């Protein structure tokens, strides 16, 4: 490793204990020059973060800081920002960038790697094992290609807030420790229209037990580097799937690799069902953006469904093909798993069991989706095809008129179940609160909605849940508060003017997304009309 004794290492934050297993277990790039190039026979390259002129901490997750073992006084120390923008290192930090490849929009892209992410090291935590600290936007690496490796404030705010919002929604995700300004400006062409402009630079510190992606295994497989492929798979199993290794008597063989692939498939399926539950669209489900441990990773042009539309994508790059739209995410998850299966095939040499797991993914997804929908509607149990038809018919109706997904399901818990025939006045207030233009609610649509609510009421009366239990289940499944794009954009615009209060307020609100929080009702409203087509509020580009 090329760091010398003169490197700027400080001795503060001694509450953190580093145990860098990734770099100990896997081969490093022998070339230590930090310039764009192809890296072979290595899982990572040594690299130093780029120094910045004026680091400033503007947001921190107290929850993540507590997990890592920070003392409260350390979070307010001026050198915290120096460390978490990359200006200074703590004793035990050994910065590096990971090497991986991937399919982007369905096409093999070859080597990609951490182009603007630099891993600082793994912290040994008291209750959460090893946690990797990773800076996003800390400068160029050998994988930056023609880019600068930096990030801007707007995308960094979105990543910081959404990482933590997803966690509190109960969805597997990388975490975010801190958000810092760099004191520098970064040139970005936000709309890809040939008019770049200077924006405020920022760095987010991301945290996870693993940043390995599907593409981490695809690249050595594509290069027929089976030695590195096996080392990576064995490492992933040993560190994040150790239970499987114990069950296999500590033997690394085809049987173990199949069990591992099956669990990766299960975690991926479960993750995507969670996304659909809350109306989240990842936006860039390339294989290099798929976490091997089933976490939401790489918050680029993501988005939250306002009006229910299975074809909606938050990514302007995907506007025509809609490959990664809301309703396609489960299918893309399976496609990505197919690419991972191709990558690990040389370790198994038998396609049949891999295909079996891939086929089971579809069955598992259908089962999990139905169970999830049953909870959204407050059912104690899923009762089969009749329930599934009720779910499908509901989504058709939600799509037939602009209906806010988050508001609708939250309002649905207020629908009073009674044995008397359902009347329009029983359900219309529920729907009106969620639709964007009640004037287009035709007589035909009203009749269709009335029929659906009648069937729903009858189904609820068959259930063993009490009214209180039903409402509790629904309100614990259907969030009241999500990080709508327009809310994030308002926080961004204020922060660009030096006002970070909206970031802090959103942090607080999104820590309790299922609670009523009466003081914050304005943050649980439908998207305002002014945000319908405003930049940052509807769709976003892949530009940082």
CB 179 within 8 A of CB 60: yes
Distance CA 49, CA 189 (A): 24
Counting beta carbons within 10 angstroms of the beta carbon of residue 301, is it exposed (0 to 12), middle (13 to 18) or buried (19 or more)? buried
Residue 101's SS3 state is strand
Residue 288 is a catalytic residue: yes
Q: Cα(289)–Cα(294) distance, rounded to whole angstroms? A: 11
Instruction: Decide: residue 24, CB within 10 A, 0-12 exposed, 13-18 middle, 19+ buried.
Output: exposed
Spacing of C-alpha 415 from chain mean position = 32
Between helix 214-222 and helix 329-344 the angle, nearest 10°, is 40
Which long-range contacts link 363-368 to residues 24+ away (Cβ below 8 Å)? 364/265, 364/266, 364/269, 365/269, 365/272, 365/273, 365/330, 365/333, 365/334, 368/269, 368/270, 368/273
Strands 175-188 and 56-60: what pairing? Answer: antiparallel
Token readout for 264 is 């990766």
Torsion region of 129: left, alpha or beta (phi above 0 gives left; psi -120 to 50 gives alpha) = left
Tokens 């069991």 belong to 353
Helices and strands, counts by H and E, the chain: 18, 13
Nearest in space to 128 (alpha carbons), one of 74, 65, 203: 65
Residue 209 in tokens: 């037990």
Question: Which letter does DSSP use for residue 486 in this model?
Answer: H
Question: Which two tokens mark 72?
Answer: 């409260």
Instruction: Please tell me the total number of residues recorded for the chain in this structure.
Output: 544
Rg over alpha carbons for the chain, rounded to the nearest Å, is 24
Of residues 240, 288, 404, 426, which has the active-site annotation?
288
Residues 6+ apart with CB under 8 A from 281: 275, 302, 303, 304, 305, 312, 313, 314, 324, 325, 326, 329
How far is Cα 125 from Cα 155, in angstroms, rounded to an integer? 28
H-state helical runs in 345-412: 351-376, 385-400, 405-412
Active-site residue list: 288
């Amino acid at each position: 490793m090329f760091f010398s004794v003169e490197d700027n290492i400080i001795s503060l934050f001694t509450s953190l204990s580093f145990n860098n297993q990734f770099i100990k277990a896997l081969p490093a790039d022998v070339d230590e020059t930090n310039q764009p190039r192809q890296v072979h026979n290595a899982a990572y390259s040594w690299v130093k973060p780029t120094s910045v002129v004026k680091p400033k901490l503007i947001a921190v997750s107290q929850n993540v800081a507590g997990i890592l073992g920070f003392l409260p006084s350390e979070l307010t120390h001026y050198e915290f920002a120096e460390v978490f923008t990359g200006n200074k290192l703590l004793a035990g930090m050994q910065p590096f960038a990971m090497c991986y490849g991937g399919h982007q929009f369905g096409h093999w892209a070859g080597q990609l790697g951490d182009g603007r992410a630099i891993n600082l090291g793994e912290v040994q935590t008291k209750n959460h094992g090893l946690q990797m600290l990773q800076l996003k936007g800390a400068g160029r690496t050998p994988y930056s290609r023609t880019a600068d490796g930096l990030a801007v404030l707007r995308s960094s705010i979105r990543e910081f807030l959404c990482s933590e919002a997803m966690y509190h929604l109960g969805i597997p995700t990388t975490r975010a420790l801190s958000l810092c300004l760099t004191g520098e400006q970064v040139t970005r062409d936000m709309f890809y229209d040939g008019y770049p402009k200077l924006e405020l630079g920022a760095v987010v510190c991301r945290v996870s037990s693993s940043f390995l992606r599907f593409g981490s295994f695809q690249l050595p497989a594509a290069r027929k580097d089976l030695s590195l492929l096996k080392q990576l798979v064995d490492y992933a199993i040993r560190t994040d799937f150790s239970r499987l290794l114990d069950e296999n008597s500590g033997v690394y063989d085809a049987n173990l690799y199949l069990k591992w692939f099956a669990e990766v498939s299960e975690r991926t399926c479960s993750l995507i069902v969670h996304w659909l539950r809350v109306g989240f669209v990842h936006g860039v489900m390339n294989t290099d953006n798929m976490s091997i441990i089933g976490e939401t990773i790489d918050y680029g042009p993501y988005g939250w469904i306002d009006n229910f539309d299975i074809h909606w994508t938050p990514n302007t790059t995907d506007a025509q093909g809609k490959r990664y739209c809301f309703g396609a995410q489960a299918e893309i998850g399976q496609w990505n798993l197919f690419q991972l299966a191709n990558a690990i095939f040389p370790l198994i040499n038998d396609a049949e069991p891999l295909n079996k797991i891939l086929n089971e993914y579809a069955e598992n997804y259908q089962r999990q989706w139905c169970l999830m929908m049953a909870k959204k509607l407050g059912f104690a149990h899923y009762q089969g095809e009749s329930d599934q038809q009720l779910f499908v018919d509901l989504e058709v109706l939600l799509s037939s008129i602009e209906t806010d997904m988050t508001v609708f399901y939250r309002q649905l818990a207020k629908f009073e179940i009674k044995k008397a025939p359902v009347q329009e006045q029983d359900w219309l207030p529920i729907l009106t609160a969620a639709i964007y233009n009640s004037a287009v609610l035709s007589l035909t649509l009203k009749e269709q909605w009335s029929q659906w609510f009648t069937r729903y009421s009858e189904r609820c009366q068959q259930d063993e849940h009490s009214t209180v239990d039903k409402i509790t289940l629904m309100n614990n499944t259907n969030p009241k508060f999500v990080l709508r794009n327009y809310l994030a954009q308002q926080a961004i615009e204020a922060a660009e003017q030096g006002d970070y209060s909206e970031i802090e307020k959103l942090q607080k609100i999104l820590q309790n997304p299922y609670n009523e929080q009466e003081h914050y009702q304005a943050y649980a409203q439908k998207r305002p009309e002014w945000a319908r087509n405003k930049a940052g509020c509807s769709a976003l580009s892949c530009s940082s």
